[in-house]
Structure 1
Amino acid sequence: MSAARSELILGGQKSGKSRRAEELARAWMTQSPAHSAWLLATGRAYDAEMQARITRHRHDRAERVPGMRTAEVPLDLAAALRLHSQPGCLVVIDCLTMWLTNWMMPMPDAPAPAQDWPAQRTAFLAALAQAPGPVVIVGNEIGLGVIPLGREVRAFVDALGALNQQVAAACSHATLMCAGLPLVLKAGQ
């Protein structure tokens, strides 16, 4: 398994998408002692269960991908990608869905973003196109189920579907994960 120039990994919850991203990072780092990897984590811990989940993910990731560094980036992925992407550094973004949630459904005590969502999305897509190193992006495919009740939830599902399409178009590779198995949607286009 080798890292593509850029890869979008989509799937449902517990489909294996984060594990695949970690495997790509580990493979990248074993190819050369000069290679490194960063994880840009977008999740926020607003309750005890989410804090425990984040702690567990940090521990598990440290065992599976020793040496991969982590930056918590709940809002400004464009700036973080520009900062961390280097020719010898693979950047994993996990995940687009939490990032969009932070923008569209912020918790009441969350700091206000410095710009609006469309501007941030545009800045992120530009940073992705200009990234000098490989980028692996994890996101959820949530549009396969029933149409949700509620205007806000439908708006979120629509926005995530549009974001997934834009990121897939910008990436050289796209993979759908199901039951831990990768289904290649796009390879090197």
Structure 2
Amino acid sequence: MVVSLLQIPVRICGASSDMAGSGLFQAGSADTQTSATITELRVEDVSAAVTFILGGAASGKSAFAESLCFSSGKPKAYWATSQIFDDEMREKVAKHLAQRGADWTTHEEPFDAAKALGDLVEGQICLIDCATMWLSNHLLADHDLEAETETLLQAIDACRAEIVIVSNETGLGIVPENALARRFREAQGRLNIAIAARARTVVQVTAGLPLVLKGSLP
């Protein structure tokens, strides 16, 4: 069964009754403790080769990220993190492939960051679309999210190509009623913080309009 983490019923008035007993927000919980190795903001972590694009669903963030890659003039690679479970997703992937055109090298890899980024070379630009889907793949596979996040960050740091990363901003809404969705929201927030700390440029896209939060656009 495929679970959509972004379409789970929520309760408007704060936390649900199962939240307190779930262990998700208790001191010492692995899902709520922020690792210093992941979220510590240090100047030396900032990469001149990473641009981070945030936005809500259907906000125009992917189209904006693609436009940055096109305007770079560099050979373009695309790390597709989605898994194809049904016809709807298959049609969506086919549509995106057609929109990008033949001058992109596509790497379809739902889990392994090192595999997706390891063969890229200096002078290329790679679009990762998206970090949210990559994270949800690991969550639904019951992997260690903190360890996988650290692995992703290491792969980004080691990558020789310029990177543009797309991710969803999932923390602006009301508290999800579903425990899995709450865990996902917290993990997504930590991942976004970690990537933003490393990025040279961070952009929030709303209604197709970019707002630069850090650095500057070319």
**Superposition TM-score tier, normalisation by shorter sequence:** 0.7 to 0.9
Does residue 1:60 correspond to 2:60, yes or no?
no
Are 1:19 and 2:63 matched, yes or no?
A: yes
The correspondence for 2:195, drawn from 140, 163, 167, is 167
2:151 is aligned with 1:123: yes
TM-score by length of 2: 0.73
Aligned: 1:7 with 2:61: no
Q: How many residues were matched structurally?
A: 169
Whole-angstrom distance in 2 between the partners of 1:172 and 1:82: 21
Q: Between Structure 1 and Structure 2, which shows a larger proportion of helix residues?
A: 1
Q: Residue 187 in 1 paired to residue 215 in 2?
A: yes
1:93 CA displacement = 0.3
- For structure 1, the residue ranges without an aligned partner over 5 or more in a row are 30-34, 107-111
Counterpart contact for 1:128–1:170, Cα < 8 Å = no
Letter in 2 for 1:57: H
Give the letter aligned to residue 114 of structure 2.
Answer: A
- 2:179 counterpart letter in structure 1: R
Query: Partner residue of 1:105?
Result: 140
Return structure 1 stretches of 4+ with deviation > 3 angstroms: none
2:3 matched residue in structure 1: none
User: Structure 1 counterpart of 2:136, which letter?
Assistant: T
Determine what percentage of the aligned residue pairs are the same residue: 38
**What do residues 52-101 of structure 1 show as CA deviations (whole Å, max 9, x unaligned)?**
11111111121xxx5111110100123311222x2110011000010011
- Deviation track 1:30-58 (CA, whole Å, cap 9, x = no partner) reads xxxxx311000001111111111111111
Which has the larger displacement, 159-168 or 51-60? Answer: 51-60
Q: Alignment partner of 2:118: what SS?
A: helix
**Maintained 8 Å contact 1:78/1:120:** no
Correspondent of 2:106 among 70, 88, 104: 70
Separation of aligned partners in 2, 1:140 and 1:79: 23
Letter in 1 for 2:70: R
Q: Equivalent residue of 1:146, what SS? A: coil
Counterpart for residue 79 of structure 1: 115
Cα displacement string for residues 109-156 of structure 1 (whole angstroms, at most 9, x for unaligned residues) = xxx97xx43332112111212322210000100111111011111000
Number of the residue aligned with 2:13: none
- The answer on whether the counterparts of 2:49 and 2:162 sit within 8 Å (CA) in structure 1 is yes
> 1:95 is matched with which residue?
130
* Corresponding residue of 1:43: 82
Structure 2, gaps ≥5 residues long: 1-47
**1:92 partner SS:** strand
**DSSP-derived class of the 2:119 partner:** helix
Contact 1:15 1:180 in 2 (8 A): yes
Give, in whole Å, the separation in 1 of the partners of 2:149 and 2:115: 12
